[in-house]
Homo-oligomer: A and B are copies of this chain.
Amino acid sequence: MYSNLLKEKNIKITKNRILLLETIEKLNKVFNVDDIYESLKNNNHKINISTIYRNVNTFYENDILDKITEVNGIIYYQLQKETHLHYLICTQCNQIIPLKECPLEEIENNLSKKTGYTIESHNLEFRGICPKCNKNKKDI
């Protein structure tokens, strides 16, 4: 029940917000605003795209979503999980798949000491060509 989550965060409960969170859950992947928009359209729901933008921002500001990366001017998000993840991004089709490993905590601590930064987050992305795109390339 997402209404509990919203109440917890002091965000007013609306049909749109519930529907948006359910859609994001169903997507079950790193997504952008257009992914939500298309998914809603396919299920015969109409939410204005600016409403989606506003709420994705609200969710982000309230730690419900993580901002994963920007690729070609498009911002990608994911439902915030307890598990800390990194990503592998195909430079051909922009498929984004999450990884498990994170050997960076120690490096992060040292970095904070050396630079005086308060480290808030880190972002590790690998870019390459996925097996499918590799195959397509050879076919050309």
Binding site for B on A (CB under 8 A): 69-71, 73, 88, 90-91, 97, 99, 101, 103-104, 107-108, 111-112, 115-131, 134
Contacts and interface: CB of A to CB of B under 8 A. Distances in A.
A53 to B, nearest CB: 13
Main secondary structure of the interface of A (DSSP, over half): strand
Contacts of A88: 111, 115, 117
A123 B116 CA distance: 22
A131 to B, nearest CB: 4
Contacts of A104: 124
A81 to B, nearest CB: 18
17 contacts: A69-B70, A70-B71, A88-B117, A91-B120, A103-B107, A115-B131, A116-B131, A116-B134, A117-B126, A117-B131, A118-B129, A119-B126, A119-B127, A120-B129, A122-B124, A122-B125, A124-B124
B130 A121 contact: no
Nearest to A90: B117
A34 to B, nearest CB: 16
Contacts of A127: 119-123
A84 B40 CA distance: 42
Given A70-B73, A71-B70, A117 B130 contact: yes
